[in-house]
Amino acid sequence: LENAETIAADARIHYIHLTENAGIAANTNQALPYARGEYIGLLDHDDVLTPDALYEMADAITKANDRGVRVAFAYSDEDKCNGDETKYYDPNHKEDFNYDLILSNNYICHFLVMDADLMKKLAFRSECDGAQDYDLVLRAVSEVLAADGRSGEERILHIPRVLYHWRCHEASTAANPHSKKYAYEAGLRALQDHAAERGIPAKAEETRHVGFYRLQYTEVLQERPDVAAVGGRVLSGKNRGRIAGGRMTAGGKVFYEGLPKDFGGYLHRAELSQDAEALDLRCIRIRSADRELFEKIVGVPYTEVVRGPEQQPVFDSSTLPAGADIRLLSLQLSEALRKRGRLLYLPEYPEKWERL
């Protein structure tokens, strides 16, 4: 009671009693007009912010403003905790904004802080209750990309610090992902609506992992004009069973290197659709419009050969001259394609795109 009286005396806190429970989205929408700040943060009622969470968000947004960037939304890393906050576990160390990864899973999640005008404009949709935050993020991404294209991605800010503890109990989706199947079905609807909004002719589907999705394309290079190249994994080791190449950082470090090919790894990320800074030349397919650039950088014409279990056409790397520095050429080509404003795409079905 003493704490309640203290809270009630703080003019910054507004307690609104609703006449009915209209659902997560509708209830949250009724709260939005009372938010007076430039940004609005979202958190669940039983979860915990770190003591420095608001400072870290404000500091990052202010520094971006100083660089001339108006942040559309920002998000932090997170972990889980038990009911009495005596145990913290399962840290989720997230990537900077990755368009195709957000089309696979709401990896952004908590702690999310969004431009107040943008959130009030978009609001929450009741038809996506259970996945209302994912739906909001997808629609915010559409707004940013529609306004600024790929350059707008700098307005989506990742703060690589755990600022949010997701409290778990048995009925929570954090502890038991099967407890609220409706939430993942709502996420599937949100993803399909996003594809329709952006004119992507693909079908949203669930994967074998609850809460993880894919967009099923007929031919991604035809249906996604923002994609310049599709890449896959290069396998090596005993029985060609481990990842040796594929997605790379701009510096050439291989993502998921050494991971068994049938294992999804940390948070299933090795199995999900995602964008790359660089792709390995030994398993890559290039859009027709970029093949002249390919020849200029790689030094040989782009020709294809059919490989892999799904018989996918990829660049015939046997045409490279002996001694060619494949890593360096991969990085140089990838950088040139990204400078054109195009994405480098690693599909959700890596077994379709393998160099054995």
Q: What is the CATH number of the domain that holds 165?
A: 3.90.550.10
Q: Are residues 92 and 185 in the same domain?
A: yes
Higher pLDDT pick, 238 / 70: 70
Q: Point out which residues pair with 89 in neighbouring strands.
A: 80
Q: Between the CA atoms of 250, 267, 100 and 218, what dihedral angle is there, to the nearest 10 degrees?
A: 120
Whether residue 12 is contained in a domain is answered as no
273 within some domain:
yes
Angle subtended by helix axes 24-31 and 132-148, to nearest 10: 60
Q: Which residue has the higher pLDDT, 308 or 44?
A: 44
Amino acid 10: pLDDT: 79
**Whether residues 87 and 189 fall in one domain:** yes
The pLDDT-based confidence of 173 (bands split at 50, 70, 90) is low
Percent of the chain with pLDDT over 90: 74
Statement to judge: residues 178 and 223 lie in one domain = no
Q: Give the residue from 143, 163, 196 where a domain finishes.
A: 196
DSSP state of 17: -
Q: Is there a single domain that holds both residue 174 and residue 264?
A: no
The string of pLDDT tens digits covering residues 87-100 is 999 999 999 999 99
pLDDT, mean of residues 250-272: 92
Q: Outline where DSSP puts E strands in 82-207.
A: 88-92, 112-115, 156-167, 203-206
d(CA 336, CA 48) in angstroms, rounded, equals: 43
Taking phi over 0 as left and psi of -120 to 50 as alpha, with beta for the rest, 86 belongs to alpha
Assess whether 186 and 280 both reside in one domain. no
Strand pairing class (312-315; 304-307): antiparallel
Q: For residues 286 and 12, what is the distance between their CA atoms, to the nearest angstrom?
A: 54
Residue 274 lies in a domain: yes
Determine, yes or no, domain membership for 350.
yes
Residue 255 has pLDDT above 90, yes or no: yes
The domain in which residue 231 lies consists of 217-355
Does residue 1 fall inside a structural domain?
Answer: no
Indicate whether 339 belongs to any domain. Answer: yes
> Same domain for 183 and 329?
no
Q: Which pLDDT score, from 0 to 100, does residue 157 have?
A: 97
Q: Is residue 42 part of a domain?
A: yes
Contact 123, 49 (CB under 8 A): no
Whether the per-residue pLDDT at 269 is higher than 90: the answer is yes
Last residue in a domain, options 164, 196, 228: 196
254/166 same-domain check: no
Helix (H, G, I), strand (E, B) or coil at 217: coil
Contact present, 191 and 103 (Cβ < 8 Å): yes
Which residue reads 């050494």 in tokens? 258
Give residue 1's pLDDT band: very low, low, confident or very high (50, 70, 90). Answer: very low
Give the chain's domain count.
2
* Band of residue 307 on the pLDDT scale cut at 50, 70, 90: confident
Q: Please tell me whether residue 151 adopts helix, strand or coil conformation.
A: helix
CA distance 146 to 225: 14
Residues 63, 149: one domain? yes
Q: Look at residue 8 in the predicted model and tell me its pLDDT.
A: 66
Q: Let me know if residue 4 belongs to a domain.
A: no
Residues 134 and 255 occupy one common structural domain = no
Question: Residue 163 — φ and ψ, nearest 5°?
Answer: -115, 0
For residues 309 and 233, membership in a common domain is answered with yes
Write the CB contacts of 97 (distance below 8 Å, at least 6 apart in sequence). Answer: 153, 156, 158
Q: Which of 137, 165, 196 is the last residue of a domain?
A: 196
Clarify whether residues 152 and 51 are in a common domain.
yes
Q: pTM for this one?
A: 0.91
pLDDT digits (tens, 9 = 90+) for 134-147: 999 999 999 999 98
pLDDT exceeds 90 at position 42: yes
Co-location of 166 and 281 in the same domain: no
Cα(136)–Cα(122) distance, rounded to whole angstroms? 7
